[in-house]
Amino acid sequence: MRMVVLAFLLAATAAAGAGEGFKARGFILPDGAVKIDEDRYRLPQPWDEAVKFYRRAYPPGKFLRWTLHSQTAVRAMHIENPERGEWEGVNLYEAGRGEVRVFILTPASPPPAPPPGKPKSP
């Protein structure tokens, strides 16, 4: 019985640990994240710890992810939001000097409605 209770407490602690931090547009950011621009944040932890944080917060089985490739030596990952709420996806990348940043991709706003035209007279 004690083992069951201990296992339950460990699972609850791990789940609570993944939820630490705050939200921006509904996306979880770890404590210490700093806003550097609109929908862009600098994370306090190194790349490996940031990846572990987001694996707990957004499990790979539910949130599709893939590595972003470029010509430079930048490490980057995309996390897709299957629910398409306030954010469609997130790009997590390691910028120069080992800074880890997050760019939250918001849904595209619909194009403005065309202005009403003059009705054609017959």
Residues 49-78 pLDDT 10s: 999 999 999 999 999 999 988 767 789 999
Strand locations in the chain (E): 22-24, 27-29, 34-37, 40-43, 65-67, 76-80, 89-94, 100-105
Weakest mean pLDDT among 3-7, 71-75, 85-89, 114-118: 3-7
The Cα-based distances of 65 to 7, 36, 70, 102, 120 in angstroms read 29, 24, 16, 14, 51
Q: pTM score > 0.75 for this model?
A: no
CA atoms within 13 A on the CB side of 103: 9
